[in-house]
Amino acid sequence: MKKKSDFTWDGFFNKLAGRLMNIVLLGFFTMLGCILIIPAGASLTAVNVAMKSYLLEDDPKPLKTLWAAFKENFKLSTVVWLIHLVFIAVLIIDFLYYRAGSGTLDILAQTAVFVLIILLAFELLLVFVVIAEKMETNVWKIMGKSLDLAFTCMLESFFILVISIAIPIAAVFLFPAFVIVLPGVIAYLSWQILPNMLQKYKFRKGNAQYQRDRRKEEEQKQIKK
């Protein structure tokens, strides 16, 4: 006898409503942290932890996870964020300064600064994911790891960059009120890509994490013998 499906429209709409509500609430509270500027780094780290927990681990209380991750990662995330704010300010000032000139050196310097801005954009794109995943704990190693992750998984990083830029632009012009929940939407879409991306990076030949996992497997085999 054919097993009756457990699918019901009521269950489907309840699940959809619950998911939308959690995305909106996570986005709203993350945006509050970003508006205050200083805690923006901790907020972006926390939304990555909470979204992963909600989507991949069926976390029933993602808001509680968001707050716990915010407190746990506040110091490290804030230091990393403030360093990036300084880099961003310096690069923007340099770019505007060299743009005002018209000489060959000015054009070359302007191009170099633009390249640095692109590199910083890719690095900043994943730096809070690296913190959320606890891939590194040292500030400079975190920044290096995020850049390595971005360029190792270039296609996935590009898609996340497009999501992070296109959605805010569309929201500003089409649905301005939607801006307040943008971090939740961007985190949700990013975590449709990130699991496979992180797995690909983790097991890339020669990666330090891959080597550590291999050593653990070998140690476990030796223990069993």
Please report whether residue 54 resides in a domain: yes
- pTM score: 0.83
Please report whether residue 4 resides in a domain: no
Q: Please tell me the predicted confidence (pLDDT) of residue 101.
A: 76
Please report whether residue 5 resides in a domain: no
Please report whether residue 106 resides in a domain: yes
pLDDT digits (tens, 9 = 90+) for 92-116: 898 888 888 777 888 888 888 888 8
Average pLDDT, whole number, for the chain? 87
Q: What whole-number distance in Å separates Cα of residue 75 and Cα of residue 80?
A: 9
Please report whether residue 111 resides in a domain: yes
Please report whether residue 95 resides in a domain: yes
Q: Which domain holds residue 192?
A: 10-224
Please report whether residue 215 resides in a domain: yes
What percentage of the chain exceeds 70 in pLDDT? 88
Please report whether residue 47 resides in a domain: yes
pLDDT band at 203 (very low <50, low <70, confident <90, very high): confident
pLDDT digits (tens, 9 = 90+) for 33-52: 999 999 999 999 999 999 99
- Looking at the structure of the chain, the number of domains it has is 1
pLDDT digits (tens, 9 = 90+) for 22-35: 999 999 999 999 99
